[in-house]
Structure 1
Amino acid sequence: MVSLYFSYLNTALVLQFLWSMGFACQDIFALRNKKDLHAEPELVLLRAIGDWVLAILMFSGSCAAASVTIFFMKDVKFCAEYRRLPCGQFELSVALAFITWSLQAASSFSGFWLVVSFF
């Protein structure tokens, strides 16, 4: 069950990575060819909706992984009894996932205002 939550978190973060790398390539292409990415409102709307969906996926994955980590560390005290569990790595992965989600949420919010400025 534990690996299910962390697998969901990993899947959400991999999707976020692929989404961001795709748009980084698109941005580099637009800069090299002097194209305006904001000329087409439909693409801006698609990008904003994708950011919103990924932000929700990342938040739910982070919360699920955090709940399992808190359950292990505070509720049943598995980390105190079983020293082989990588509880420090669980904490670190959850903390980094929440930091990544906060940056994604800021990006989604700015994308929302960009969409509002078009329509």
Structure 2
Amino acid sequence: MNVRRLAAVDMHGTRGTARRRRIILAEFLVGVVAMVALGIWLLASSSSLGSRAIGLWFTGAGLNYAPLSVHAIALTRSGALDAELTGVDIDRELRRYTVLQLWVFVPLALVVFAVRDALARRRAAQ
């Protein structure tokens, strides 16, 4: 799972319009803020174990939008998205990442994937 590629493919969609790029960036940013805020609120205000578990889930799932947001912001620079998707079969990648984006619902999964990718890039650069 490549989190940067997931963000790029999601931002491009089938036609690669500027409007879609803005909508997806907004989705990622709102996802971080809203889900983490709701999770923290549930953790702070709930007394039951079930509500706290849901609060933890919202917080962890919301944090998955943080690396997506970081990559989406980076990909908004002129030519960055096109460069990321050069030589990529967009239709194939859309089908593949449509399924893989379900990892967003696994708390902290995309955070772990993004850290793993960053460490691999760092080792490759050395």
Name the TM-score, length of structure 1 as normaliser: 0.46
Greater Rg by CA: 1
Q: Which has the higher helix share?
A: 1
